[in-house]
Amino acid sequence: MRLTIAQARALGIDERYLTDLKPIVLPDDTTKSKVIAAKGKTNRQPSGKPNKTEQRFIRGLDFMKAKGAIREWAFEPEKFRLADRTWYCPDIRITLPTGQNLFVEVKGGFIRDDAIVKLKVAAESHPYPFFLAVYQKKDGWTITRMPSRQFGWIAVDVEWAI
Span 50-145: which CATH code? Answer: 3.40.1350.10
3-state secondary structure (DSSP) of residue 67: helix
The residues spanned by each domain of the chain are 2-31, 50-145
Work out the number of other CB atoms within 10 angstroms of the CB of residue 152.
13
Q: Give 71-108 pLDDT, tens digit per residue.
A: 999 999 999 999 999 999 999 999 999 999 999 999 98
Greater confidence, 59 or 110?
Answer: 59
Residue 31 has pLDDT above 60, yes or no: no
pLDDT-wise least confident of 3-17, 109-123, 140-154: 3-17
Nearest CA among 120, 60, 63, 61 for reference residue 90:
120
- This prediction's pTM: 0.70
Q: Would residue 19 be called left, alpha or beta, if left means φ above 0 and alpha means ψ between -120 and 50 degrees?
A: alpha
- How large is the average pLDDT for residues 18-27? 51
Cα separation values, 111 from 59, 78, 135, Å = 22, 21, 11
- C-alpha 141/C-alpha 53 separation (Å) is 10
- C-alpha 159/C-alpha 162 separation (Å) is 9
- C-alpha 108/C-alpha 29 separation (Å) is 30
Max mean pLDDT range (34-38, 58-62, 111-115): 58-62
Q: What pLDDT is stored for residue 4 in this prediction? A: 67
- How large is the average pLDDT for residues 112-136? 92
